[in-house]
Amino acid sequence: MRAALQHREPDRIPVDFGGTTVTGMHVSCVAGLRHYYGLTPGPVKVHEPGQMLGLVEDDLRAAMGLDVIGLFPRKVKFGLPTTAWKEWNFRGLEVLVPVDFRTRTEPNGDILIYPEGDETVAPSGSMPMGSAFFDTIVRQPEIDEAKLDPQDNLEEYGAVSEEDLDHLERSARAAAASGYGVAAGFGGTGLGDIALVPGPGLKNPKGIRDVAEWYISTRTRRGYIHKVFERQCEIAIGNLARIHARIGDVVDSMYVCGTDFGTQTSAFCSVATFRELWFPYYKLINDWVHANTGWKCFKHSCGSVERFFESFIEAGFDIINPVQCSATGMEPAGLKQKYGSRLVFWGGGVDTQKTLPFGTPHQVREEVLRRCEIFAPGGGFVFNSIHNLQAGTPVENIVAMLDAVHQFNGVSHA
């Protein structure tokens, strides 16, 4: 993996599933794969409750032939510590969830989840009947323009605690001993990520918390947004310094931000707006990382985002994910030719909207082999699908995907 990140062609394409919260698998997929490979039965841990991502344990990582292990913060979405677990029946599938994971099922089948497990406040997430993950509930207080305070949108950001540092140090030590490449997500650097703007882990969020209102504010309240980003960067860089002092350069890549700038066919903002509002703060964070650590900076942005690639590179991002090849302007060969020496493509291996969930194993295999032929030469490629594997994806298609990568790599894998 390290060779690939340094744009040196490795002996084989490194493969990641489960290393980050945007390269993982729904808990039902993890359970299905454990059964397929004949691994020890038992409930799978849901290590990211929002997307209901299943934890990839060492035995499954080996069975799948993966090369990356994830390093995650102690607290996850909805403010839940992952230090203790309990069983939960997820619509017929027994899983393990954080002990503070508390829900209420509505008469129509919707499942509501509470921030920090506090059932005395309003729920902050909803899993509609028929869905397999939680949508964040907007709890926007009425906005009084005269009283808007950027500090209200910073309530969830603060100095990293000793408890959190201890957790990261223990996790980093275990990751270093694993022999895998290490992908880390520390939190705190997600600038304007609409998955986080509503404050899903806060009991009573204040400030601008409605997603639509936030987008409007990027146009009409730019001074406010600048103040939020400025202070968030100050806090984040201070925390990164303390984290690095504890874990060093065990980490190979750091998940910086998951803010999406692309839609299926266009973008949420112009390049000029991106450069005025986000670029300076991304550059501050990435420059600090590059000056003080050996970590590579990982940017997630779905959709049609090729127009931003030059700015991403200038801002110091080393890695782009999920490489949504089905979006407008995201043709794989063109991306590789133009940016392959300057950006690592972490993803893009197979389409998760159509091919993987609805295609045949043969179609999956053919698409995977084509993508490997395009992205592998010269390094700069970590194989992953285009975003997380979703609930309902046939296990035989997931296995066909993995088998195709291993075939391309010339590796015989059980």
- 269-286 average pLDDT score: 98
The single-letter code of the amino acid at 212 is A
In the chain the domains, ranked by start, together with CATH numbers, are: 2-29+140-409 (3.20.20.210), 30-137 (no CATH)
HEC per residue, 297-366? EEEECCCCCHHHHHHHHHCCCCEEECCCCCCCCCCHHHHHHHHCCCCEEECCCCCCCCHHHHCCHHHHHH
Q: Write 160-163 long-range contacts (CB < 8 A, 24+).
A: 160/186, 160/188, 160/239, 160/242, 160/243, 163/74
The band of 94, judged by pLDDT with boundaries at 50, 70 and 90, is very high
Token readout for 228 is 């939020």
The residue-averaged pLDDT of 35-43 equals: 97
Q: Give residues with Cβ within 8 angstroms of 401, minimum separation 6.
A: 349, 350, 356, 364, 365, 368, 385
Query: Do 81 and 75 contact (CB within 8 A), yes or no?
Result: yes
Average pLDDT over residues 3-24: 97
pLDDT digits 0-9 by tens, 189-223: 999 999 999 999 999 999 999 999 999 999 999 99
pLDDT at 414 over 90: no
Measuring CA to CA, which residue among 201, 170, 165, 202 is closest to residue 186? 165
State the pLDDT confidence band at 413, using cuts at 50, 70 and 90: low
Q: Whole-angstrom Cα distance, residue 153 to residue 213? A: 13
Angle between helices 222-247 and 162-178 (to 10 degrees): 60
Asked whether residue 23 carries a pLDDT value surpassing 70, the answer given is yes
pLDDT of 175 > 80? The answer is yes
Question: What does the pLDDT read at residue 117?
Answer: 98
User: At 215, is the secondary structure helix, strand, or coil?
Assistant: helix
- Average pLDDT in the 333-356 region? 98
Give me the pLDDT at residue 163, please.
97
Query: Which pLDDT score, from 0 to 100, does residue 412 have?
Result: 59
**Given a cut of 60, is residue 351 above it in pLDDT?**
yes
The pair of structure tokens assigned to 138 is 């907007």
Per-residue pLDDT tens digits for 255-265: 999 999 999 99
Query: Percentage of the chain surpassing pLDDT 90?
Result: 98
Q: What is the mean pLDDT of the chain?
A: 97
What is residue 141's predicted lDDT score, i.e. its pLDDT? 86
- Tens digit of pLDDT for each residue in 128-140? 999 999 999 999 9
pLDDT score, position 11: 95
What are the structure tokens assigned to 6, written together?
A: 């340094």
